[in-house]
């Protein structure tokens, strides 16, 4: 996700030299650009994806679905009760009342049956066509940028140098877990083990899986990549995996933001906006080969 500067760059408009030894130029322009493109793309894909989900607020396992099948694993809906309409969320047959948020929501007196509320979707009103256009537009931006980033990172050695876990990283894993649990962070150049594992999981597992399952759900791609549906267990299963990946990406985002606030939001945001990052003093830095989230 981030590119680690190995040497002080030549002075320029974006890389002014600093006399402060703890201030390093860590994020290149390209790293910052891809970071924000991914963040913006995922934001619009999430909200438009929830709108698309509203058109069929159920998830299934298998190649087929419908009234004659009993393969629903997740559903959001509304039902009439003795006290009036109630929203519910059903997971693996277990039903929860989610009135006001999922299934049945809206301004007082104007509630409607809707899986995800209007404030959580793009557009806010029901418009499947517009949601699909927005979703696919940003999906192509994210996919293209990810492919270019992957090729560039292979060429410049960023993957091998900064993301591939080493034996020493795995040995430090227990200490990393304890330090993060204690909110004890080390601000240095290198990624710590948990960062490598988290970023690697997102970049090489979750995002590719999201793209592959998205292609598997597209009828136009069936003729081009007919094996995808069979590989994933059918279009309905692919849709369920796509949804699960979305939930995992949201979980990653929440944890990522919590770590940023815990490690020092001003320093972290300055790094991803300007490229400059303040590390621990040299004496501490030489003893702690890890850095913050």
The pLDDT value recorded for residue 9 is 43
pLDDT in tens, 58-81: 999 987 655 566 789 999 999 999
Give the tokens for residue 102. 């999922």
How far, in Å, CA of 137 to CA of 129, rounded? 12
**121 within 8 A of 51, measured Cβ to Cβ:** yes
The pLDDT value recorded for residue 180 is 81
In 3D, which of 158, 154, 149, 200 has the Cα closest to residue 5?
A: 158
**72 within 8 A of 239, measured Cβ to Cβ:** no
Q: What are phi and psi of 288, to 5 degrees?
A: -125, 100
Peptide bond before residue 123 is cis, with ω within 30 degrees of 0: yes
Q: How far from chain centre, in Å, is Cα 135?
A: 15
pLDDT in tens, 217-261: 887 787 788 888 888 888 899 999 999 999 999 999 999 899 888
Q: At what angle do helices 128-156 and 207-217 cross, to 10 degrees?
A: 140
Structural domains for the chain = 23-57+125-285 (1.20.950.20), 74-114 (no CATH)
Give the tokens for residue 249. 């990406």
Q: How many CB atoms lie within 10 A of CB 74?
A: 16
Per-residue pLDDT of the chain (293 residues; tens, 9 = 90+): 544 444 344 444 455 445 566 887 877 788 788 889 999 999 999 999 999 999 999 999 987 655 566 789 999 999 999 989 999 999 999 999 999 999 999 998 889 999 999 999 999 999 999 999 999 999 999 999 999 888 888 887 778 877 888 888 888 888 888 888 877 777 777 777 888 888 889 989 999 999 999 999 887 787 788 888 888 888 899 999 999 999 999 999 999 899 888 888 888 888 888 888 888 776 544 444 444 44
The pLDDT value recorded for residue 64 is 66
The pLDDT value recorded for residue 2 is 44
Q: How far from chain centre, in Å, is Cα 34?
A: 14
């Amino acid at each position: 996700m981030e590119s680690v500067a190995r040497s002080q760059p030549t002075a320029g408009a974006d890389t002014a030299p600093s006399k402060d030894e703890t201030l390093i130029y860590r994020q290149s322009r390209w790293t910052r650009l891809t970071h924000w493109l991914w963040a913006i793309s995922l934001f619009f894909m999430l909200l438009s994806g929830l709108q698309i989900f509203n058109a069929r607020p159920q998830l299934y396992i298998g190649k087929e679905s419908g009234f004659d099948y009993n393969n629903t694993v997740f559903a959001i809906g509304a039902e009439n009760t003795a006290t009036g309409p109630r929203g519910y969320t059903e997971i693996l047959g277990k039903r929860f009342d989610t009135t006001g948020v999922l299934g049945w929501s809206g301004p007082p007196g104007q509630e409607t049956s809707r899986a995800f509320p209007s404030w959580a979707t793009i557009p806010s009103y029901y418009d499947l066509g517009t949601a699909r256009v927005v979703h696919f537009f940003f999906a192509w931006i994210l996919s293209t940028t990810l492919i270019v980033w992957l090729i560039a990172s292979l060429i410049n050695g960023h993957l091998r140098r900064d993301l591939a876990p080493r034996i020493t990283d795995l040995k430090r894993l227990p200490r990393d877990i304890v330090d993060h649990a204690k909110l004890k962070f080390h601000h240095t150049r290198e990624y710590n083990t948990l960062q490598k594992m988290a970023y690697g999981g997102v970049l090489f597992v979750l995002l590719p899986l999201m793209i592959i399952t998205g292609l598997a759900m597209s009828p136009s791609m069936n003729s081009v990549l007919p094996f995808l549906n069979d590989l994933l267990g059918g279009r309905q299963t692919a849709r369920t995996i796509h949804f699960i990946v979305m939930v995992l990406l949201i979980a990653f985002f929440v944890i990522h933001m919590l770590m940023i606030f815990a490690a020092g939001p001003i320093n972290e945001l300055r790094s991803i906006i300007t490229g400059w990052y303040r590390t621990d003093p040299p004496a501490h830095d030489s003893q702690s080969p890890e850095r913050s989230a």
